[in-house]
Structure 1
Amino acid sequence: MRQKRGHLDVQDEPVDAQETWLDDFAQPIEESADPVEDDGATFGAAFFGWLVASSIAILTAALLGLAGTLIGWSELAAWLEAQAGTTGPAIASALVLVVIVALAAFTGGYAAGRMVLSHGGRQGLGVWFCSLAAVLLASASAYFADRRYDLVSRVDWSTLPIVDGDWVTVGLTTLGAALLLTAVAAVAGGAAGTRYHRTFR
């Protein structure tokens, strides 16, 4: 159809023909921006999240070890014994260990959650399982190394800030708290990482 507009004849084009190349370019972006709701746990995201968690744990432990060296371990142990008795150093060490691994688990879960668009909690749980597998593998390696080279007998246990009889209770309590808190922290970190996409998408 031709219409006269001033001195020019303009032919109306169909609506489909008026779409520009920008519309064709933007359409795939809009479709890909939709979150994928049915993806499950990804091994790659969980593995790299475990690497982040391990790095944070090692770095935090190294910084605390440096601080303890600067203060003096013997002075620190004596102060803890004066404040909380003979079990003070053992309890304080257990609390510090639990806080370190929980912080590392949250960070690793968050890193894994940032790698996916949905189900960040599953990614965080995957990070926790990777960490558990790494701990079991390291424990098995240490056990066989001790069987071969008798490493435990070479340690002077009397210099450690823990008294006889309480190491079993403190160790089991620390292990249970670490397993529970790291699982919760990893899942929470994964959920927080996925929430980033929903907030800034």
Structure 2
Amino acid sequence: METTGSGSSTSSYRANERLARERSQFGGVKVGSAFFGWVTAMGITVLLTALITAFGAGVGLATDTDLGTATESVAGNPDATAWISAIVLVLVLLLAYFCGGYVAGRMARFNGMRQGMAVWLWAIIAAIAVAALTVLANVKFEALGQLNGIPQLPMDGAMSALGWIALAIAVIVPLLGAILGGQAGMHYHRRVDRNSENIYRAP
């Protein structure tokens, strides 16, 4: 019994040692994996936005609500509309960037938190690039602005409190979702490694 326990302990130690060597050699932030994670996050954002828009239109048709009635209802209760929009935005960004972080973590295998942060950094870089092109070329990127997939940086220097809250949501929520997704993608590989060790130790 002691020999078996010692052998099991030795095998576990060797597995951890091998994993540490692999991490030191292949770990670190993988820019390519983070980029494809960001592309995934953008794609999921577009898909969810389209589904939510289609669902809203379907509800309007099913309840026989015309555009004028809906507009009057929204104007009569702007606070409720703002809260609903904020909640939907949080859920969309959280899910989309969780998927993006998961893709990056699965592709990179190690350092899931860093991979998730790198996905988020790609979103910030894209937001800065769009803002810079908007200023330099005096062009409005309406398509990107409507996706809500990247933080919308203020260009005029004046924002209301609600605008700053929306910007904070667009910055913090994707970071949280990407980190959680990156960790989930990395843990998949750790689970595979543990199962592989059990298979190899089996008689």
TM-score (norm 1): 0.65
The secondary structure found in structure 2 opposite 1:40 is coil
Structure 1 gaps of 5+ residues are 1-29, 152-166
Residue from 93, 105, 114 that aligns with 2:106 = 114
State which structure, 1 or 2, has the greater radius of gyration over its C-alpha atoms.
1
Residue from 161, 164, 182 that aligns with 1:172 = 164
Determine what percentage of the aligned residue pairs are the same residue.
Answer: 33
Distance 1:74 1:90 in 2: 19
The structure with the greater share of residues assigned to helix is 2
Write the letter of the residue equivalent to 2:43: S
Residue from 78, 82, 94 that aligns with 1:86 = 78
Residue from 63, 70, 93 that aligns with 1:101 = 93
> Which residue of 2 is the match for residue 141 of structure 1?
133
Distance 1:195 1:148 in 2: 43
The secondary structure found in structure 2 opposite 1:90 is helix
> Which residue of 2 is the match for residue 69 of structure 1?
57
Distance 1:194 1:180 in 2: 21
Taking structure 1 as reference, are residues 61 and 196 closer, same or farther at Cα in structure 2, changes over 3 Å only? same
Cα deviation for residue 78 of structure 1 reads: 4.9
Taking structure 1 as reference, are residues 195 and 49 closer, same or farther at Cα in structure 2, changes over 3 Å only? same
Cα deviation for residue 136 of structure 1 reads: 2.1
Q: Does 1:198 align with 2:190?
A: yes
Distance 1:121 1:148 in 2: 35
RMSD between aligned alpha carbons?
A: 2.6
Q: Does 1:184 align with 2:176?
A: yes
Distance 1:116 1:194 in 2: 8
The secondary structure found in structure 1 opposite 2:160 is helix
Structure 2 gaps of 5+ residues are 1-14, 61-66, 143-158, 194-203
Q: How many residues get paired?
A: 151
Write the letter of the residue equivalent to 1:68: G
Residue from 1, 6, 23 that aligns with 1:37 = 23
